[in-house]
């Protein structure tokens, strides 16, 4: 599937035509049709990915995973997991059968939280 075909499919899901998408993004009205013959610039590719809530890799055909997470989203999820772990530690409520949680157990819990948060974020992106 070409980049233009992917954009057409995504636009259709938003009940938009290519001209409407182009104008909403501040491109010329026929810009997206030019992608039949040329690749978009990186800034326009990023705008398109943000507009549709997909990765640039998806638009370029490098992955079929529409919901892949951006580096910023992964960083945000990591910070959220850190806040969760820190919140649990500050309340002294993290324990196993009355025993304090070891650093190794805390790392395992953080890994599990990261996986769960990333899966949840991807699911929410797929609903859009």
3-60 has which CATH code? 1.10.260.40
User: Residue 7 in contact with residue 32, Cβ under 8 Å?
Assistant: yes
Domain ranges of the chain: 3-60, 71-127
- What would the pLDDT profile of 75-117 be if each residue is shown by its tens digit? 888 888 887 777 666 655 556 666 777 778 778 888 888 888 8
Does 22 score more than 80 pLDDT? yes
Tell me what pLDDT residue 120 has.
83
Burial class for 22, CB neighbours closer than 10 Å (0-12, 13-18, 19+): buried
> Global pTM?
0.59
Count the neighbouring beta carbons within 10 Å of the beta carbon of residue 58. Answer: 20
Tell me what pLDDT residue 93 has.
57
pLDDT at 127: 65
């Amino acid at each position: 599937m070409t980049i233009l075909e992917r954009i057409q499919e995504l636009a259709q899901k938003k009940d938009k035509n290519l001209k409407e998408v182009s104008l909403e993004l501040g491109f010329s009205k026929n810009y997206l049709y030019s992608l039949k013959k040329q690749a978009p610039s990186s800034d326009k590719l990023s705008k398109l990915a943000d507009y549709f809530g997909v990765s640039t890799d998806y638009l370029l055909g490098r992955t079929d995973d529409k919901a892949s997470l951006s580096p910023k989203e992964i960083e945000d999820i990591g910070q959220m997991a850190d806040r969760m772990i820190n919140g649990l530690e500050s309340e002294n409520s993290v324990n196993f059968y009355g025993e304090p949680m070891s650093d190794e157990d805390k790392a395992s819990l953080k890994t599990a939280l990261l996986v769960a948060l990333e899966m949840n974020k991807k699911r929410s992106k797929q609903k859009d």
